[in-house]
Amino acid sequence: MPSEPFVVLADPARRRILDLLRERPRLVGELTEAIGLSQPGTSKHLRVLREAGLVTVRPEAQRRWYELRPQPLAEIDAWLAPYRWMWAERFDALERHLDTMGDA
């Protein structure tokens, strides 16, 4: 039962991890250094990401290659979709214009 992607993304360290994995798979050690947390701390964030289906692991001897699995982000995108047109340029002006037409 993967947790909500929204909740998972609320933590900046986890967003950073995903951003790093966007480039290429990474080892826990690399990620630890990059995000500036302890190794256990990093591992715990990776667990959350794994349980949310946002990363997968590929073991190689004692190492673990973490790779991005972006599918769950589609849920975020879907929620966002109906809002997306709204912040396009000069929306406020358009809205005021439509309000004016409504008055007429």
Q: How far is the CB of 88 from DNA (least distance, A)?
A: 28
Toward a second copy, which CB reaches closer, 38 or 83? 83
CA 79 from chain centre, in angstroms, equals: 13
Does 12 contact a second copy by CB under 8 A?
yes
Does 84 contact a second copy by CB under 8 A?
yes
Binding-site member from 2, 9, 20, 65 for a second copy (CB under 8 A) = 9
Taking alpha carbons only, the member of 86, 20, 104, 84 closest to residue 95 is 86
Buried-state track 50-67, b at ≥16 Cβ within 10 A, e below 16: eebbbbeeeeeeeebbbe
6 binds, among a second copy, DNA, none (CB under 5 to 8 A by kind): a second copy
